[in-house]
Structure 1
Amino acid sequence: MNRIALKRVICLSATLVVLSADAAEPEVWSQFRGPTAMGATSQTGLPLQWSADENVLWKTDLPGNGTSSPIVFGDQIYVTAYTGYLVPGQDRGSLEDLRRHLLALDRATGKLKWDRPVAAKLPEEENIRDHGFAASTPVADASGVYVFFGKTGVLAFDHDGNERWRADVGAGTHGWGSGSSLLLHNGLLIVNASVESESLIALDPRDGSRRWEVDHIREAWNTPVVIQSDSGREELIISRHGDVMAFAPMTGDSLWTCKTDITWYMVPTAVAADGVVYVLGGRSGVAGLAVRAGGSGDVTDSHRLWTSTSGTNVPSPIVHDGHLYWVSHDGGIAYCADVQTGELVYEERLERFGQSYASSLLAEGRIYYFDRSGRCAVVAAKPEFELLATSSLRDGSRFDASPIVDQGRLLVRSGNALYCLAKSDGS
């Protein structure tokens, strides 16, 4: 994890957080699902409830639509968007006008600092369904920020918005678009290019050159994660249709595979704890499983610990204190399962909670679930169901991005806007 020198000045009357470069910041959400890639934070002081006029520090309308999550690095927030074609609420437009945008916002105020539009490499998908052309969350390090724009490629920019390089990872398109986010690990930029070339690719973040490539990554919309087995071995985990797969992160060598018995494409990103990987996915039949890391070859018989018919098709789960928590993608059901057996501890309906695509967030012993309308349900992170609060932000667009944490604030992205939520009393 990169550490950025920052000094935090808090104006209690306005709850304005001002960031500069003098004191160490312990946690930076510079990638999908945060520093651990598990959707959990050690930060405190997050708001429990909000509304359009309560605990909203600022709101910034974005010059385009998108479903990617924001990230933070230094004094900037980065997020992607798209314009020109199939933008919700607008005329259909033309593929020739399709642009993907990397946006940099001021971390303290939300003011747009710069916008870098990138023309689409044509031909593109003509009838992309539901998720649009900006669904992949960027990743950043001290050298700059990296974005994944499907067949248009992976692009690197410095923190002033200057393009450094771009790399082609395949020409394929899909009606659901590209949704996997980038991963930086030990000097490698990992790309799940399942849609573009059915490949998992490692690039050199200095120049975009290819370091290794693995093929046959089919129907995989999840973001790769690096976990540790009980022996301490690092394993790069990705789920594809039919299998969970583990690779050596630095070489791409195959370590193990495990059958999932899930008959659908794989969207939720895996989580792990104590050397065990937990994977959800699918709409029916088997929809979840646990597999112990550290094996070799086909480990279905030796390392698969359990399967479950309870799961979710889109949101990524939380693993915490011996339990797995998630929300259904459709129907507003909150689940808790015992990680040892996969058996459900509870299955509770969230009232007035609709379809959900955002991954869940664990903070201060509570779990934040968002639905696509902007409604949030906060439940206690314990094996007894307890609804702590509900809130709503509705702005006429969908809330498909995952919330992130930044210095005791929540950053929540709708299709058209970015919200900064903070306690109004300054605590």
Structure 2
Amino acid sequence: MSTRFFFSLLSIISLTSMSQSSYGKLDDWSKYRGPAEQGVSEAVNVPIEWSNEKNIVWKSEIPGRGWSSPLLIDGKIILTTGMEETVNDLHDLKVLQVDAKTGEILWLKTVLYATIEEGQDRHPKNSLASPTPAIEDGVIYAHFGHMGTVALDFDTGETLWKQKISYTAKNGAGGSPVVVDDLLVFTTDSFEKPVVTALYKETGKIAWRTVRSHQVKNNFSHGTPLVIENGGRTEIISPGSGMVGAYRPEDGKETWLVRYPMGFSMSTRPIYVDGVLYMGTGFSRPSFYAIRVDGAAGDLTDTHVKWMYHKSMPKTPSPNFVNGNVITLEDNGRLQSLDAETGELRWMEPLRGKFSASPVQVGDLLYIVSEEGLCLVIRVRDDGCEIISEMEMGEETLASPAVVDNTIYLRTRHHLWKISEDS
């Protein structure tokens, strides 16, 4: 066994061991960033190149517009989408199921409606359906931010419950929900008040809402929580503007926080490896933090920050952990590797394009898609990286791909693609 392969395998085991027993099977892609929630796939024989004549199994037109990532369970794909045109001054918000074998839409349900006012305060890049759903035990939890949340039966698309938490969503909805125990948890960080919200997943009723203890001038954010085990307790890690906090599932109590002086409109999601949380701080002057998580409580800003890095950090794409290094992708295309122990810059590679989607790691390869629709397969090494292939999809995309078994599921502006060597 080569040293490189051994450490790559160790990275995958470290990233997946926490979540696979409680939060999904490793051969599914049932939540944002995959089964371990950290952009790692155990897929094998994944194509490293494709074209119209090679490795594209099907390409299906998807109605509306949305940047939620595709989810896959039992041969069925789940997507959300929003209709840009209005009917009676309302936008239709939809959930659909696609047959992974054929690309056929099996059902398409209008689940919620958004007013013109709710839909108009969006960043130009954002859609009405950017948060990625979560799936557990035959239920789809589709979240549309301030426009509402809905639970659906996986097989039929029947609505089980609806809930709407009203708040001012600057730039539109972005953060995805997570399932933990009997809860569905997401952020409702408005400009006026940043709040972490939990619903009972069986009923949609509010379980708790916790106002963040540290607030800044621009409180709005779009973070996606991450569930970890810390010192024998389950914690919901929720990054926001000016701080990252840990919250108890049972009552929403904030157990610890780390403050950062610059950073708001949080979109990147942390990763958690061997007791260390690695995360960016959002917009303004984005920095990157490594935070030791060891069961401590309270304000850990001055005691538990292992290192910080301040140059060319991502505002939107989430990081990856490969062979003892943290890989970050800056929105303008700067791919770089930081030593996980020290924060030292190992290497930097400029990429062509702009980036919002988060990379997916398969072994020592990263699958990366640009906003312009350029797909890159990049081999990551300790001393640099190698661009293996580049493919133009011909449509913009801000959606992170799903990589399951030997297949890539990629969403672009108008289509969903299945890419596999079985074609």
TM over 0.5: yes
2:165 aligned to which of 162, 165, 169: 169
What do residues 359-391 of structure 1 show as CA deviations (whole Å, max 9, x unaligned)?
111102211121111112222233222224222
Q: Which is further off, 286-295 or 208-217?
A: 208-217
* TM-score, structure 2 as length reference: 0.87
Shift of 1:50: 1.4
1:319 aligns with 2:321: yes
What do residues 52-76 of structure 1 show as CA deviations (whole Å, max 9, x unaligned)?
3321111111011111101112231
Q: In the aligned structure 2, how far is the partner of 1:74 from the partner of 1:384?
A: 39
Q: In the aligned structure 2, how far is the partner of 1:378 from the partner of 1:152?
A: 36
Q: What is aligned with 1:138? A: 133
- Cα separation, partners in 2 of 1:135 and 1:111, compared to 1, 3 Å: same
Q: In the aligned structure 1, how far is the partner of 2:284 from the partner of 2:383?
A: 26
- Cα separation, partners in 2 of 1:195 and 1:401, compared to 1, 3 Å: farther
- Paired residues, what number? 392
- Within a 5 Å distance, the mapping from 1:121-132 to structure 2 comes to 121-122=114-115, 123-129=117-123, 130-132=125-127
1:120 aligned to which of 113, 118, 122: 113
Shift of 1:194: 1.8
Q: Aligned AA for 1:343?
A: E
Q: State the secondary structure of the residue aligned to 1:124.
A: helix
1:156 aligns with 2:151: yes
What do residues 330-382 of structure 1 show as CA deviations (whole Å, max 9, x unaligned)?
1x2111001111111001112xx211000111102211121111112222233
Given that residues 31 and 37 in structure 2 are in contact (C-alpha distance below 8 angstroms), is that contact kept between their aligned partners in structure 1? yes
Q: Aligned AA for 1:203?
A: L
Given that residues 25 and 35 in structure 2 are in contact (C-alpha distance below 8 angstroms), is that contact kept between their aligned partners in structure 1? no
Shift of 1:121: 3.9
Q: State the secondary structure of the residue aligned to 2:80.
A: strand
Shift of 1:211: 1.5
- Cα separation, partners in 2 of 1:283 and 1:224, compared to 1, 3 Å: closer
Q: State the secondary structure of the residue aligned to 1:43.
A: coil
- Within a 5 Å distance, the mapping from 1:86-105 to structure 2 comes to 96-105=89-98
- Mark the runs of 5 or more structure 1 residues left unpaired by the alignment: 4-23, 86-92
Given that residues 412 and 420 in structure 1 are in contact (C-alpha distance below 8 angstroms), is that contact kept between their aligned partners in structure 2? yes
- Within a 5 Å distance, the mapping from 1:325-340 to structure 2 comes to 325-330=327-332, 332-340=333-341
Q: State the secondary structure of the residue aligned to 1:381.
A: strand
- Within a 5 Å distance, the mapping from 1:371-390 to structure 2 comes to 371-390=370-389
Q: Aligned AA for 1:34?
A: G
Q: State the secondary structure of the residue aligned to 2:384.
A: coil
Q: What is aligned with 1:302? A: 303
Q: What is aligned with 2:189? A: 194
Q: Aligned AA for 2:151?
A: A
Q: What is aligned with 1:20? A: none
Given that residues 266 and 283 in structure 2 are in contact (C-alpha distance below 8 angstroms), is that contact kept between their aligned partners in structure 1? no
Q: What is aligned with 2:16? A: none
Shift of 1:251: 2.5
Q: Which is further off, 95-104 or 400-409?
A: 95-104
- Within a 5 Å distance, the mapping from 1:12-411 to structure 2 comes to 26-85=26-85, 96-122=89-115, 123-129=117-123, 130-159=125-154, 160-174=156-170, 176-195=171-190, 198-216=194-212, 218-229=219-230, 231-283=231-283, 285=285, 287-293=287-293, 294-310=295-311, 311-330=313-332, 332-350=333-351, 353-396=352-395, 398-411=396-409
Instruction: Provide the identity percentage.
Output: 26
Backbone CA RMSD of aligned residues:
2.2
Q: In the aligned structure 2, how far is the partner of 1:95 from the partner of 1:328?
A: 41
Q: Which is further off, 277-286 or 315-324?
A: 277-286
Q: What is aligned with 2:10? A: none
What do residues 9-44 of structure 1 show as CA deviations (whole Å, max 9, x unaligned)?
xxxxxxxxxxxxxxx974211000011101101221
Shift of 1:258: 0.5
Q: In the aligned structure 2, how far is the partner of 1:112 from the partner of 1:191?
A: 28
- Mark the runs of 5 or more structure 2 residues left unpaired by the alignment: 1-18
* TM-score, structure 1 as length reference: 0.86
